[in-house]
Amino acid sequence: MNGIRHQLTNSFTPQQNGVAERKNRTLMELSRSMMNVKQLPNCYWAEAIACATYILNRTITKTRPNQTPYEAWNGRKPNVDHLRVFGSLAYAHIPKQHRSKLNEKTEKTIFVGYSEQSKGYKLYNPHTNKIVISRDVVFDESKQWVVNSETSEVPFIISDTDVVETQGTEGADITRGEQTSASLASLPDQNEQVLQRTENEDQSRGANREQQNESENRNITASAHPQESNSSSSDSENEILQQNKNRLVSNGSTKKKYDENGNVDKYKARLVVKGYKQKYGIDYQEVFAPVIRFEIVRLVLALAAQYEWHLHQMDVKTAFLNGKLEEQVYIEQPEGYIKKGEEKKVCFLKRALYGLKQAPRAWYSRIDTYFIKNEFKKCIYEHTLYIKNTSEGKIVICLYVDDLIIASNSIKLITEFKESMKKEFEMTDTGQLHYFLGMELTYENGNITLSQKKYMRNLLEKYRMTHSLIKKKEVIVTFCTTKDQLAADIMTKALQPKDFTRLKELLQMNLK
């Protein structure tokens, strides 16, 4: 297709892919040298290769003698002032939030590379078996670590000595004779990763890792889809659940939705996932999803009043359930819907659920694709403002998660758009725009008036006020008497000072 033909190399003939194999050899030689200089065990091979790749991308090559790969890709020269010797002794600063007054302010660690998510160093603490990301680090590149795995309960005993004195020591011989291995796993904390140690993985790790991952994925998928795992036994199901550490828990959530008058409009019940147990890089990546700004909403309303546009509103029912997931996410069977005889199995999510960190972004990607497909143009400065020009007129869409404001000079365009949305999603047509995100709209003589009566009323009720008289931006407040409260003035006993200050901020008016 298009003149491109997919051709594979023969089995066990790496010479047919010489460029890639030569680069792999370069990385292996560099990582081996970096670990040998500091006498580190082979369990650090993954971090050493990542560090070697980071350095090679910032050094010149034969094909481009005057330009680094980083500069060729990003268009600017890289900064190399932060480069340090791999495996050096590093003293990382402990933030005051993680220590008491009398605790040490620094911890001794091993420098194992550079963070990919932030501008910081990756430091390994053998005592806690954790990878720490920090930028406040002091390095001692003349020191190295001698590892002794026999004489301590801690996985590694640390002793830092000069490079000259440690060559040929007994600890180095033990390290070369008895190698250990480690595998990296993520912690729930965004700034730390646990370095879990296992044994006897170094010799066959590179060859068996892909096969092992494929086997685990097949087992988990079989447990997530009961109809495809009739031959699996209960013992294997228990083992699968123990391996699947990233399964999430869900629970039911109920909520009341009110209209602009404060009356209950509808009751909502949802299945919500406990997304706080998700781990970055494993079951979610990007989470940002834009929403329309209030400044843009007011601008669209001003244009609608000026050009006499029609304003309508629609709401997407269970919007997040329309988003498609790119990551593999598993949840336990919801309470009340557990299948008998298969209680140990988990559910594989194909669509997003409320509570997932990536659910808003998945929904935005879905609705954005729909608008682009239907010839809407997205504003380059406001990614939730869509405009479509036709021979019959103009239509403007403002998107705030699952709420849509529709503005157009043609009622026919609005009707066609509503019918198209109902075919694609399950929608609620609320008709003419009258209440949007706490703002109440009234139409009179071609003018659009905005107010927040419900918002003000809720504030007054929250602070136990009977009524308020708004006059020239001054609010005169009286209070009701209760068993636990005496009638008092607003500046004395009715409200605490912090409540009074908070009330002034919310009302944005002059209280007397």
3-state SS track over 293-342: CHHHHHHHHHHHHHHCCEEEEEEECCHHHHCECCCCCEEECCCCCCCCCC
Query: What mean pLDDT is predicted for residues 81-90?
Result: 93
When pLDDT is cut at 50, 70 and 90, the band that residue 314 belongs to is very high
Instruction: Let me know: does 193 contact 184? Beta carbons within 8 Å.
Output: yes
Query: What mean pLDDT is predicted for residues 208-230?
Result: 40
Which helix or strand (DSSP H or E) is residue 396 part of? strand 393-400
Beta-carbon count within 10 A of 357 CB: 19
Gap between the Cα atoms of 265 and 315, Å rounded: 13
Strands 510-511 and 474-479: parallel
Higher pLDDT, 477 or 196: 477
How confident is the model at residue 169, as a pLDDT? 37
SS3 label, residue 435: strand
When pLDDT is cut at 50, 70 and 90, the band that residue 137 belongs to is very high
Can you state the percent helix, strand and coil of the chain, rounding each to 5? Answer: 30, 30, 40
Please determine, for residue 361, whether its predicted confidence score (pLDDT) is greater than 60: yes
Q: Write the Ramachandran bin of 305: left for phi over 0, alpha for psi from -120 to 50, otherwise beta.
A: alpha
Higher pLDDT, 87 or 198: 87
How confident is the model at residue 465, as a pLDDT? 63
How confident is the model at residue 508, as a pLDDT? 56
How confident is the model at residue 335, as a pLDDT? 83
Please determine, for residue 329, whether its predicted confidence score (pLDDT) is greater than 80: yes
Domain boundaries, the chain: 17-203, 206-243, 250-449, 453-511
Query: What mean pLDDT is predicted for residues 391-415?
Result: 93
Gap between the Cα atoms of 463 and 499, Å rounded: 8
Gap between the Cα atoms of 503 and 459, Å rounded: 8
Query: What mean pLDDT is predicted for residues 147-176?
Result: 41
Query: What mean pLDDT is predicted for residues 28-40?
Result: 92
Going by C-alpha positions, the residue among 456, 489, 480 that lies closest to residue 470 is 456
pLDDT digits (tens, 9 = 90+) for 260-302: 677 787 787 878 888 888 888 888 888 999 999 989 998 999 9
For the chain, the average pLDDT equals: 75
Please determine, for residue 214, whether its predicted confidence score (pLDDT) is greater than 80: no
Number of helical H runs and strand E runs in the chain:
12, 25
How confident is the model at residue 469, as a pLDDT? 46
Query: What mean pLDDT is predicted for residues 124-136?
Result: 90
When pLDDT is cut at 50, 70 and 90, the band that residue 501 belongs to is low
Instruction: Let me know: does 188 contact 279? Beta carbons within 8 Å.
Output: yes
Place of tokens 């781990």: 279
For residues 243-280, b (16+ Cβ closer than 10 Å) or e, as one string? eeebbbebeeeeeeeeebeeeeeeeeebbebebeebbb
How confident is the model at residue 2, as a pLDDT? 67
Q: Cβ contacts of residue 318 below 8 Å, gap of 6+?
A: 270, 426
